[in-house]
Structure formats: C-alpha cells, structure tokens
Amino acid sequence: MRVCVIDGHGGGLGSRLVRELRADLSPGHELIGLGMTQAAAAAMGEAGAARICIGPEAITETVRTADVILAPLNVLFPDRDQREVTATMVQTILEARCRKILLPLNRFRVEVAGTESHKLEHLITTSLSRVRTLLSAVPES
C-alpha cells in the first residue's frame, strides 16, 4: 500500500503524521511525503518518509498511484497565486481512485457540516487511526 502525506508551509503537520505512521508500516507499504514547499518535504523526509516529492507537479504525478492520501483539507483549495496548491493538483487529488483522509483544519474559514470542531491533536489521532485501519486490512506483500 502506498500512503502519501501532503503538507505545506514548514511541514509540521506532515512530519508528525509521517513520524507516527512510520512505526506502523510493514516493509510492503510505502510512505511518501509530498511537500507543497521544500521545507515541508524536508521535514517529512527527516521524519522518516521513504521518499519525498516537492511541488504541485510532483504531487500531481505521485497521487495518481496512491492508495491513501492523508492531508489537511486546504489541499482542496487552490491558492490565489497558485504556488502551493494549483487547480490541477486539486483536480488530480479529487479524481484519484484512492481513499482520501483529510483533516478539517479551518484555515480558510470553511466549515464542513456534520463535523465537530476539534483541536489539532484529536484530528491527528483520528486520521492516524483511520489510516492504521486501512493498512491492517491489506495483506502484507
């Protein structure tokens, strides 16, 4: 199973997700850090990602082969200057046939109806639990 963690800015969230997932992955699984910035990619690499990719084009290519995408919700909102999140990247993520686990961080004042407002710690714990469940359902290769 190929798990892709996407993060931007300094990569604090992505590096935490990678670090905590790294211990759960058997040799048959691959953990890839996809940084919207060089700092984010480097942070996920230091946290233990097997491979890192940097920038919207690399992210767009890599998510096509993902089995799970783990990222903050803001990866679905293109930024105005299209440096971190491009419309093509958003479209590719949405069209990817894999499972997408998105943390509903409220950076853009977007509220998702039916979800409760939780602290980041709870969102991380919940999303990691979901990925672990998906990983355990896949036989090791």
24-28 average pLDDT score: 85
Q: Tell me how crowded residue 78 is: count the other CB atoms within 10 A of its CB.
A: 17
Domain boundaries, the chain: 2-136
How much is the pLDDT for 104? 87
How much is the pLDDT for 83? 76
How much is the pLDDT for 100? 97
Using 50, 70 and 90 to split pLDDT, how confident is the model at 62? very high
Q: Kindly give the residue spans of alpha helices, DSSP state H, lying in the chain.
A: 12-22, 38-47, 56-63, 87-95, 120-136
What 8-state DSSP symbol labels residue 73? G
Q: Which of 29-43, 46-60, 123-137 has the lowest mean pLDDT?
A: 123-137
In this predicted structure, the answer to whether residue 113 has a pLDDT above a threshold of 90 is no
How much is the pLDDT for 28? 86
Q: Are 127 and 100 in contact (CB under 8 A)?
A: no
How much is the pLDDT for 81? 67
Using 50, 70 and 90 to split pLDDT, how confident is the model at 98? very high
How much is the pLDDT for 80? 73
Topology of domain 2-136 in CATH is Rossmann fold (3.40.50)
Using 50, 70 and 90 to split pLDDT, how confident is the model at 106? low
Calpha distance 91→117 (Å, rounded): 26
* Local structure of 103: helix, strand or coil: strand
What does pTM read for this prediction?
A: 0.90
Q: Which of 26-30, 107-111, 126-130 has the lowest mean pLDDT?
A: 107-111
How much is the pLDDT for 24? 83
Calpha distance 20→127 (Å, rounded): 11
